[in-house]
Amino acid sequence: ITFDCGVTRELGHDPVEVIKYFGKKDRINHVHFRNVYTVIPSEKYTEVFLDEGEVDMFAVMKELVKQKYSRLIYPEHPPVLDADRENPFDGISSNNYTGFAYTAGYARAMLQASLSL
């Protein structure tokens, strides 16, 4: 499956428990690593930075490491920062490159911390 932390939370499920279920069966082919704030489950949500939403992203990363997951972790849909609005860059598919850099770095730090436990 494509495991998405945000969608899992939007649907009202605990992402860590879903990773445990599919991870032990080796059924996760890649991870969309994002966080959300859910207003109405399955209907309305806001995408936020990894450290701002309802999902404990460090717990998610620790469980991925515990399950020995070794495939793609994609830091998906980061919020757009002012720097991106003020200095758009047309060389990529989206203009939130600063948000992507922040999210990728934050995810990498969580991975390194998880591996050191």
What is the residue extent of each domain of the chain?
2-115
**Cβ neighbours of residue 82 closer than 8 Å, sequence gap 6 or more:** none
Residue with tokens 């911390």, as numbered in its chain: 113
**2-115 topology per CATH:** TIM Barrel (3.20.20)
**What is the predicted pLDDT for the residue at 94?**
61
**What is the predicted pLDDT for the residue at 91?**
59
Highest mean pLDDT among 10-14, 61-65, 72-76: 61-65
Q: Quick one: average pLDDT of 66-94?
A: 82
Q: Is 80:96 a contact under the CB 8 Å cutoff? A: yes
Q: Quick one: average pLDDT of 43-61?
A: 95
User: pTM of the prediction?
Assistant: 0.91
